[in-house]
Structure formats: structure tokens, C-alpha cells
Structure 1
Amino acid sequence: MPALDLQFVRSQFPAFDEPTLAGQAFFDNAGGAYACLPVIVHLNRYYHQSKLQPYHLHPVSQDAGKQMDESHDRLAGYLNVLPEEVHLGPSTSQNTYVLAQAFAHLLQTGDEIIVTNQDHEANIGVWRRLSERGIEIKEWRVNTITGELDPADLDTLITDKTKLLAFTHCSNIVAHINPVKEICAKAKQAGVWTVVDGVAYAGHGFPDVKELGADIYLFSLYKAFGPHLGVMVVRQALALQLGNQGHYFNGGYRHKWFVPAGPDHAQVAAARGVVDYFDRLHDHHFDSSKDISVRASNVRKLLHDADAALLPQLLDYVSEHPKLTLVGPADFSKRSATVSLLATEQTPQELAAKLVKQGIICGAGHFYAVRLLEALGVDPATGVLRLSFVHYTSQEDINQLLEALDKAL
């Protein structure tokens, strides 16, 4: 596996040439990553050349529709699913809301849904609300010390009444990567549908959704170098059971089934820019293979290795500092590059403010994981300091962060 060419990578992100961001080290990627150049180019092109209703008879309108179709096709290739299984909605929160309404028509009084207290509220709240319709909600609870989920707990949680299991691929606070394939296999054996929230994971490499075995997989494209859209993969068999959730006369257009408000044409068209970037990244580092599964696997490994080269330094610093407490596993191989921490002598907001003054872009709060923080005994009103990075983060950025932490503490 070749080493990541960071100079090439950063040349693909205009933010690194932006004067207002000069000297700033970006550690708030879990809240939204920088957009890559192809996305910006496609978005600019659409607004300049194609800003009209797509799929109509005019050649420009036809071209606009083709751009949107290409996004579904190309994202599907990197996710190893069918193009008609990829749905692009306004956000993951909105997508899960639509899903919950769809499932409400399939479920009956007394049916069970299992949710965790590890997830972002987007993959918890919408399912809990179905209790108002007579659905029983069961909670798969984290270990209150580690914040991790134990798959063995499902052996007692799943019953013959369980219909749906909603859980996260990777927590946006403790960052532990759950064994999704194992969990989905266990659920499938029991005849239980799975909804996997991959928002905190996908920015570190698009997963092979088919390999994972998830019935539904969701993530936010703006946290994976793209426009502000939520990607929702709904496997074909389940989509047919859920049915069209949009206007009745749009039943023949699969991409409109789970986006009742209709697609954001320009952003959907620009979404393919993320895959353009991945292709550029691949061809710069590897032989130009035409096999999409090979390309996706190579890029996934490249992004993972870039994180793994830097993450231990930050984890070791936090684990060894007498005034800091790491939230989540200290073993870098079990987690993503999202590091949450608590300080003994100041609030997360106070510490974040000191870091910001030293050019560290970071965040503090509950990050919509209120139930998880409550389970861990952390006050959601103050939450945690969260430092998150991706493959375009440099060793110099890490050095700047550690020096800033030294001064702030």
C-alpha cells in the first residue's frame, strides 16, 4: 500500500488555499469535512449551465438529469450496491424520519424495535416516537465505563416480535467501530431488518454495504467531502416492501420514493464529485484499474492508513496527560479518528475557546448524542471537547494541536 501523497490530496481541496483559513488546523471534520474540488466544480457548473428543471425535453434539461443520474450510478459503485438503491435526501435526520414513517405502515401493535443509547439522536428519536403507535421500543445499552456495545446482548434483546434493529457503525463520541457485519448477520438470522447509521464512519472510507449486510445504510455526504446531502442506501427487497413515500404519481421513479420534498437538483448533480475525487486519489497512487471494487477497496485502505498513521499520537497524548480523560477506547485499531475528551480543571467550552485562539478549529458539546453522554455520566449541557480529523490532516496539524493543548492546559 503506497503512502498517501498529502501534497496531492490537499491540492484537491480549495480550503487549503483559502487565506481566511491560513494557519488554522482543522479538527472539526466530524461536524462537516471540507468539500473537494470536483464537488465545487460540478456545483458551480450546474448553477451556471444547468439551473433549470431536469429531465425535460430541452438538451440542457436532459444534461441536468444525466448529471443527477451519474451521481447515483457512481456512488453506488463505491458502495457496492445498485444505483436504484441509492437515495439522496436533504440530511440523514430527514432521511431517517421518512424511513420511520414508512416502517410505521409495515409494523403492527406489539412489534419491537431495538435502538441503542450510543447513537446520534437521528437514528434513535424517530424510532422511539413509534411507541406512540403501539410499537415496543427496546434499548441496547452501552457499557457505562467504555461506552461500547456488546453484540452478545442481542441474544436476549431479540425476540420473535423484534422487527427492526437500528444502530451506529461508529459512535460520533466514543468512536468505537461496531462489528456491523456480525451484528447484521445476527439480526438477519432472526428475521430482523437493520438500519445502520454510518455518518461518523463514511468520511474515513466508504463501506462495502453489500459486504456489511445492512438492509439500510445512511451517512451524510457533507461529512465525506461532498455537498450537504444525506445518502441513504435502501436494499431493493426492503424498498419494495416500504413502497413509495413521495407523491403517488412518482411511483415509477425509484429515486423519489424516499425523498418526498424532491431532490436538490444541483447538489445531487454535484455529489458525483466525491467519487471523481476518489478516482483521482486512486489513479494518483495506484495502477488505473477499471474494476470498481478494486478501486473502492484501495481508496478505503488508503484513507484508513492515513488516519492510523496519526491517531496513536493524539490518543497517547490524551491518555497520558494527568488533566485529560479520553472518552472511548485508547486502542486506535478499534476506533475512528474522532477523539472526545474531558479536562479536570475546565469545561470543554473553555478548553475549546483556548484552542481556537491558537488556530485549532474544534467543537465542544453533546453533538446530538445526549443519551450516550447521560449513560457515561457526562453532563450533556457541557458535553465533551471533540477533535476529529481525516486523511488530509498533516503531521504539522497534529503538532500544532498538541502544542496548543499544552498551552491551554
Structure 2
Amino acid sequence: MKDLDLNFVRSQFYAFDAGNPLCQKAFFENAGGSFPCKFVVDKLTKFYETTKVQPYGHFNGSIEAGEEMDKSIVKLAKLLRIPTNNLHVGPSTSQNTYVLANALRLSKTKKNVIIVSNQDHESNTGVWRNLASQGFEIREWGVRSNGSLYLDDLKNLIDSAVCMIAFPHVSNIIGQVNPVKEICAFAKEVGAFTCVDGVSYAPHGIPQINDFNPDIYLFSSYKTFGPHLGVMYVSDELALELESQCHYFNKEYPNKRFTPAGPDHAQVSALGGIYDYYEALSNHHLNRELSLDSSINEVNGLIAKQEKKTLRPLLDFLKTKRDVRLLGSYETEDRVPTVAIVTKKSNVALAKQLNELDISVGVGDFYAVRLLEALGVDINEGVTRLSFVHYTSGSDVEKLISGLDRYL
């Protein structure tokens, strides 16, 4: 397999242009939000400059605005390999799960058990847990002492009353990739729906959703080099079970059933830039005659190879630090470059010291309080999170390691 051309990759982001203040930093808070690619920024800018009117009207500008929005939805659905009718776009993943939980609350399901994990971001666990006050029974699929989820533990929670299993594709703390395809297949066997939080997975390889066969798949486009939106797939089967959340006169439109508010027109129009970026990666690294449909898995492979290469030195370094606790595995297999550590010093103090060296890291609980509690981490202190993606350079990682070595 070829190597990712990092110079080409970074040329696709304004953040890395000479003179941009962001370019001066080694950026390791990508799990909180990635840089947007130029395709997205250009589309967003053009929309505001030339078509910022109410879309889907019958005059120039309005017609073009609607067309750009429609093109983006088609492109994104194509990138994810799903029908456009199953694609829903809301303001954020947290808002999307809130709407879905309300739709389930109002549904006529006779099953009343929801299984949630304590490995997840709160957006895909708290809203389901809140349904306990509405007569649902909540069962927790708990992590073991290493922070991992195990399918055998899930099987012990299953019976015929389970209607939904909510879990993460990847933890935003330990970076573990869960066996989504296997979990979803098991859920189908026992007659349960699945809600997969893909927010921490999608930045490391565009999910081919039909390969996993979930009923709900969620991710945030602002973490996949795009605008600040929440992207949601809902299967036809589940959509028919859930109560519509839109205006009554819109419920016959599949894309509007679970988006009660109108979309952010400009940002929706910019979503297609994510597709354009991946297409550019494909054209540059692979055969230009290949469609992105046939090459996306290869592009994802190039990205994974690059990330593993840059992750390895950091994990090896952390292994040498006796006073540093790594949450998650020291191996690069089945994990993404989201690295959370606990040290003997203040996380905030460490972040400020690294900032003086032009290194940006994240500090806090990252809305994964339940997981940190399960792992015995002081919630008031939280963790230091070092997260990167495929555009992160080896020299940036070297700079991070040097800074950590200086202060730890």
C-alpha cells in the first residue's frame, strides 16, 4: 500500500497555509474538532456570499441555494453508502440523540429495556437513561477494569424485552475500536435495535454504514473536516417504529421526520465538501479513473496506515514513563490516535506549559464522566487528551513527545 502524501493532504487545509496562526501550533485536540478542509470552507463562503437567501424558492439565488443543499446531501449519502432517505442532518449529535430518545418515548413499542454503556460520550447514554422516568428499564453494559467492552458481558444483559442497545464505535477516551459489525449482528439475532455513536471513529475513516448494519449511526461533521453539524443514519425499519418529531405536515418526508428544526442552510451546502476532499485524496493517491465509490476503502486504508505510523512513537514513549497512566492500549491495532493520560501533575498546568511550546492539547472529562469514574479517575482533574488525525505530521508528534518529556 502507498504512503499518504502528507504535503498534499496538508495543502487541502487553510489551517496549514503559511501565515495562518494555527499553522504555528502542533495541534493535538482534533477529537474536539478537526480543521475544516478547503472544499468545505470555500463552499460555505460561496453560499454566504452568493446564495444566502431562503432556499427552494422560484428565483435565482434561492434556486441555487436549494440545489447546493441537495447536492451535498446526495454526496454525503454516497460517501457513506446509504440511501439519501436514511440520512438526517441536525445541529449536533447530542441534539440528534435527544430527538431520537423522544421519538422512542412516544413510540408504541412493547419492549421496555434499553441497554447503554458507560464507555460512551454522554450524548449516547444520558438521553436513553433519562427514559427510566418514562417506564423504560435501563441496563448498563459496563466496561471492565481496562476500560473495554466485551460482547460476553452484553449477552448476559439480553432478553426478549430489550428494544435498543446504545454503544460507541470508538471511545473518545481510550480510543478503542469496538467490533460494531459483530455487535449489530448479535442485536439483530435477538430482535434489538442498535444506536452506534460513531463520532470518535468517523474522523479516522469514513464509515461505510451498510457494512455494519446498525439501525442508528451518528457522527459529527465538524470532526470529519466539515461544518458544525450532526449527521445521523436511521434505518427504514426503525424509522417506522419511532414517532415522527417534525411538523405534522412534514412527516411524510423521510429526511424531515427526525429533524424538528429547519437545517442550517449554509452548513448543509458545505457538507458536500467532505466528499470532494476524499475524492481529491483518491484522485491524488490512486487511479483517477476510479470512482470514490470503489476507492473509499483504499483511501481509508491509507489514512489508517498514516495514523498508526504517527501513533506508534507516542505510545512507545508513554510506556517509558512510570508516572504516567495511559487509559487504553499501548498497541496500535483496534485503536485510533485518541490518547488520554493521567499524570501526577495538574492537567491544566501541563496544558499551559505545552502551549508555551506551541503544542495544543485537550484537558477535562470530555463528556465521558461515567467512563472516567469506572476507571477511578478524579473527575475534577480529568485527563490530558492527545488526539490527532491523518494530517498530523511525524514532526508534530516528535514535538509533542519532546514537550511531554520536558514536563513529565
- Bin for the TM-score computed over the shorter chain: over 0.9
Aligned to 1:401: 400
Contact in 2 for aligned 1:204/1:390 (Cα 8 Å): yes
| Contact kept? 2:36, 2:226, Cα under 8 Å | yes
Aligned match of 1:376: 375
- Quote the residue 1:366 is aligned against: 365
| 2:364–2:381 CA contact under 8 A, matched in 1 | yes
Match of 2:271 in 1: 271
Q: TM-score, normalised by structure 1?
A: 0.97
Query: Could you tell me the percent identity over the aligned residues?
Result: 48
Structure 2 counterpart of 1:152? 152
User: Structure 1 pair 405/107, CA: closer, same or farther in 2 (3 Å)?
Assistant: farther
Q: Cα offset for 1:235?
A: 1.5
Equivalent pair of 1:108/1:135 in contact (CA under 8 Å) = no
Paired residues of 1:323 and 1:343 also in contact (CA < 8 A): yes
State the Cα distance separating 1:280 from its structure 2 match.
Answer: 0.5
Describe how 1:344-359 pairs up with structure 2 within 5 A.
344=344, 346-359=345-358
Unaligned residue ranges in structure 2 (runs of 5+):
none
Show the counterpart of 1:216.
216
**Aligned partners of 2:354 and 2:360 also within 8 Å:** yes
Offset at residue 109 of structure 1 (A): 7.3
Conserved 8 A contact 2:79-2:206 = yes
| Residue 258 (str. 1) matches residue 284 (str. 2) | no
Q: Which moved more, 1:102-111 or 1:134-143?
A: 102-111
1:300 Cα offset (Å): 1.2
Normalising to structure 2: TM-score of the pair? 0.97
Task: Give, in whole Å, the separation in 1 of the partners of 2:119 and 2:108.
Answer: 24
Moved more, 18-27 or 131-140: 18-27
Task: Say whether residues 1:128 and 2:146 are aligned partners.
Answer: no
Query: SS in structure 2 opposite 1:232?
Result: strand
Residue 184 of structure 1, CA deviation:
0.4
Bigger drift between 231-240 and 378-387 goes to 231-240
Distance 1:350 1:407 in 2: 13
How much is the aligned-residue C-alpha RMSD, in angstroms? Answer: 1.3
Amino acid of the structure 2 residue aligned with 1:224: T
Alignment of 1:8-407 (within 5 A): 8-17=8-17, 18-106=19-107, 111-144=112-145, 146-344=146-344, 346-407=345-406
Indicate conservation of the 8 Å contact 1:107/1:135, yes or no.
no
Is 2:111–2:162's contact at 8 Å kept on the other side of the alignment? no
What CA distance in whole angstroms lies between the structure 1 residues aligned with 2:20 and 2:268? 29
CA-CA distance at 1:370 after TM superposition: 0.2
Equivalent AA in structure 2 for residue 58 of structure 1: F
Give the Cα–Cα distance (whole angstroms) in 2 for the partners of residues 23 and 305 of structure 1. Answer: 25
Cα separation, 1, equivalents of 2:95 and 2:330? 33
Of 256-265 and 109-118, deviating more is 109-118
How far has the Cα of 1:21 moved from its partner? Answer: 2.2
Question: CA offsets, 1:3-37, max 9 Å, x none?
Answer: 11111111100011243224310100000000000
Quick one: which amino acid aligns to residue 384 of structure 1?
V
- Matched residues in 1 for 2:321 and 2:126: separation? 36
Cα distance per residue 1:157-195 (max 9 Å; x no partner)? 011100000000000001111000000001110000000
Please report how far the alpha carbon of residue 350 of structure 1 lies from its aligned counterpart in structure 2 after TM superposition: 1.8
Counterpart amino acid of residue 285 in structure 1: H
Structure 1 gaps of 5+ residues are none
Q: What is the rounded CA distance, in whole Å, between the counterparts of 2:206 and 2:197 in structure 1?
A: 13
Counterpart Cα distance in 2 of 1:100 and 1:204: 27
- What displacement does 1:240 show? 2.6
